[in-house]
Chains A and B, each alone.
Chain A
Amino acid sequence: MKKYFKNFMKYRHLLVELVKKDVKLKYRRSYLGILWTLLEPLLTMIVLSVVFGTLFGKDEPTWPVYILTGRLLYSFFSNSTKATMKSIRNHGAMIKKVYVPKYIYPLSSTCSSFVTFLISLIVLVAVSIVLKVHVTYYVFLAIIPLAILFVLTYGVGMILATMSVFFRDLEYLWSVGLMMIMYTSAIFYESDRLIKSGYDWILKYNPVYAIILNFRNAVYYGQGFDTYSLVYSTGFSLVTLVIGLLLFYRKQDKFILFI
């Protein structure tokens, strides 16, 4: 254990450099640069609010915030798992030449997606102020679902990164999986609709929804956590992380033969 920690300390500079690189390069060639991190969720929020709000006859003034919270968390999950999945293959040239603890690459992908995600939360703050969402002290608790989401995303990313070294078409499969998760996470519809229809188990077993729900509780509804969702998402995320780490650890020596 101590050995791993020492190795991590030696390569922490690399982790920082890789995260910086991802964030920097993402917007280097674009005219508006890092502003896109803010504009993109804002624009999708407007589109989704119009389609699922105005056109569906909803006139709640804070409805866009409901959509935005779900949409921001989901897109972090989606972007990050997709980037992490490719991280081993993208750094193939490096892995073949210099020894570096390999988990640094997927970790840096997840971290850099998380950094862009945190920046994009500025939009949420701004929109909440403009639409006059009632904010309570519970807002500080929002950090907990975000931490759980990070663990879940990294765990899933590690599993995908390991598997996609051996099976490249996993990318296409995962985008279908992500679509399923998107539609079952109550991002742009109210969860009551599904609960009333008798399909509430879909929401019950979806860890991403559980995290979104508690995030909304903290920043949108201004109330405490839903205990079941909190326990379920924490447990699910930790188990996923352990599986991801074990799988990665056991297969990492074979990566070089496939990349």
Chain B
Amino acid sequence: MAKAVVDVKDVTMRYNISSQKVDNLKEYFIKFVKKEIMYNEYTALDHVSFQLEKGDRLGILGLNGAGKSTLLKVIAGVQKPTEGSVSVAGRIVPLLELGAGFEKQYTGAENIYLYGTVLGYSREFIKEKYEEIIEFSELGDFINVPVKNYSSGMKSRLGFAIATVVEPDILILDEVLAVGDAKFKKKCEAKIQGMFDRGITVLFVSHSLQQVQRICNKGILLEKGRLIASGMIDEVAALYEEKTK
């Protein structure tokens, strides 16, 4: 058996949701004095475990609020689980809400450096790949225009180009394939398909069952934070379909 690339061990994620959001000192103080601070505990993920090997393409299925996005955040390292652990071997690149991290006042060119360093690349490396990024994003002269003047399609194109300039070992896709116009979408899909062929590991969340079945070979099904099925994508998809009926 090959070594696990993503190893999710018994992950539990609990939130304290206070019935009213208290985010300032004044309210906190008043509520504290009146003994009104109450917390409702909410379990977003409940003892979820699974493993992925190199080249696995996992589809994560579940209704809204099942904990899919939370799971992706935990794997991406953005959120720390309340219990359990996640270990990831290799470079992980999340393609979530492309271009959300851009600085609006900055031009596209400046944002390439900023966003690239956020992803942990060095400046020299970005310089090397700079032309390639601009070419892929098809922005042309717009690269020297502040990002606040970009259309949402242009932003996603640039975001996609920066995020995928390096072949990641693990790719996280959260409904992002709906990027840009049909032509660019095809280009993105081709690029992602190319990565699949070279055997990268993928975590994919989508509500489109067909898309998931086309891309993935394995699947898990979440319901209210619990892992209720895992296995080959077709079996899991069938179960999901039954659930949604």
Q: Which residues of B contact A28 (CB under 8 A)?
A: 105
Q: A166 contacts B120, CB within 8 Å?
A: no
Q: Which residues of B contact A96 (CB under 8 A)?
A: 73, 78
Q: A97 contacts B78, CB within 8 Å?
A: yes
Q: Which of B25, B28, B110, B123 has the most CB of A within 10 A?
A: B25
**What is the CA–CA distance of A184 and B11 in the complex, to the nearest angstrom?**
52
Contact with A along B60-86 (1 / 0, CB 8 A): 000000000000010011111000000
Shortest Cβ distance from residue B162 to the other chain A in the assembled complex, whole angstroms: 11
Q: A16 contacts B123, CB within 8 Å?
A: yes
We find that the number of chain B residues with CB closer than 8 angstroms to chain A is: 31
Tell yes or no: A31 within 8 A of B by CB. Answer: no
Q: Which residues of A contact B28 (CB under 8 A)?
A: 167
Q: A97 contacts B24, CB within 8 Å?
A: no
Contact with B along A31-46 (1 / 0, CB 8 A): 0000000000000000
Q: A25 contacts B105, CB within 8 Å?
A: yes
Q: Which residues of A contact B122 (CB under 8 A)?
A: 13
Tell yes or no: A95 within 8 A of B by CB. Answer: yes
Q: B76 contacts A166, CB within 8 Å?
A: no
**What is the CA–CA distance of A96 and B80 in the complex, to the nearest angstrom?**
12
Tell yes or no: A98 within 8 A of B by CB. Answer: yes
Q: Contacts A21-B114, A28-B105, A96-B78 known; A257 to B15 CB distance under 8 Å?
A: yes
Q: Which residues of B contact A18 (CB under 8 A)?
A: 114
Q: A25 contacts B78, CB within 8 Å?
A: no
Tell yes or no: A100 within 8 A of B by CB. Answer: yes
Q: Which residues of A contact B110 (CB under 8 A)?
A: 21, 24
Q: Which residues of B contact A192 (CB under 8 A)?
A: none
For A256, the closest partner residue in chain B by CB is B79
Q: Contacts A17-B117, A169-B25 known; A256 to B123 CB distance under 8 Å?
A: no
Q: Which residues of B contact A258 (CB under 8 A)?
A: 23
Q: A95 contacts B78, CB within 8 Å?
A: yes
Q: Contacts A13-B117, A99-B78, A166-B23 known; A94 to B106 CB distance under 8 Å?
A: no
B117-135 residues with Cβ-Cβ distance < 8 A to A are 117-123
Tell yes or no: A179 within 8 A of B by CB. Answer: no
Contact of A97 among B26, B94, B114 (CB under 8 A): B94
Q: Which residues of B contact A11 (CB under 8 A)?
A: 117, 120
Contact with A along B100-115 (1 / 0, CB 8 A): 1101011000100110
Tell yes or no: A59 within 8 A of B by CB. Answer: no
Shortest Cβ distance from residue B203 to the other chain A in the assembled complex, whole angstroms: 15
Q: B78 contacts A93, CB within 8 Å?
A: no
Tell yes or no: B235 within 8 A of A by CB. Answer: no
Q: B78 contacts A256, CB within 8 Å?
A: yes
Tell yes or no: B232 within 8 A of A by CB. Answer: no
Tell yes or no: B97 within 8 A of A by CB. Answer: yes
**What is the CA–CA distance of A16 and B120 in the complex, to the nearest angstrom?**
12
Tell yes or no: A3 within 8 A of B by CB. Answer: no
Shortest Cβ distance from residue A11 to the other chain B in the assembled complex, whole angstroms: 6
**What is the CA–CA distance of A148 and B94 in the complex, to the nearest angstrom?**
40
Q: B15 contacts A21, CB within 8 Å?
A: no
Contact of A173 among B25, B97, B120 (CB under 8 A): B25
Q: Contacts A14-B118, A97-B97 known; A25 to B103 CB distance under 8 Å?
A: yes
Tell yes or no: B227 within 8 A of A by CB. Answer: no
For A95, the closest partner residue in chain B by CB is B78
Tell yes or no: B195 within 8 A of A by CB. Answer: no
Tell yes or no: B215 within 8 A of A by CB. Answer: no
A90-137 residues with Cβ-Cβ distance < 8 A to B are 93-100
Tell yes or no: B145 within 8 A of A by CB. Answer: no
A150-182 residues with Cβ-Cβ distance < 8 A to B are 166-170, 173
Pairs A-B, 5 closest by C-beta atoms: A99-B77, A169-B24, A14-B117, A167-B25, A253-B80
> What 7 additional pairs, Cβ within 8 angstroms, besides A10-B120, A98-B101, A100-B120?
A13-B122, A18-B114, A96-B73, A97-B97, A97-B101, A98-B78, A167-B28
25 example contacts (A-B, Cβ-Cβ < 8 A) are as follows A10-B120, A13-B122, A13-B123, A16-B117, A18-B114, A21-B103, A24-B110, A25-B103, A25-B105, A93-B100, A94-B100, A94-B101, A97-B76, A98-B76, A98-B101, A98-B119, A166-B23, A167-B25, A168-B23, A169-B24, A169-B26, A173-B25, A253-B79, A253-B80, A258-B23
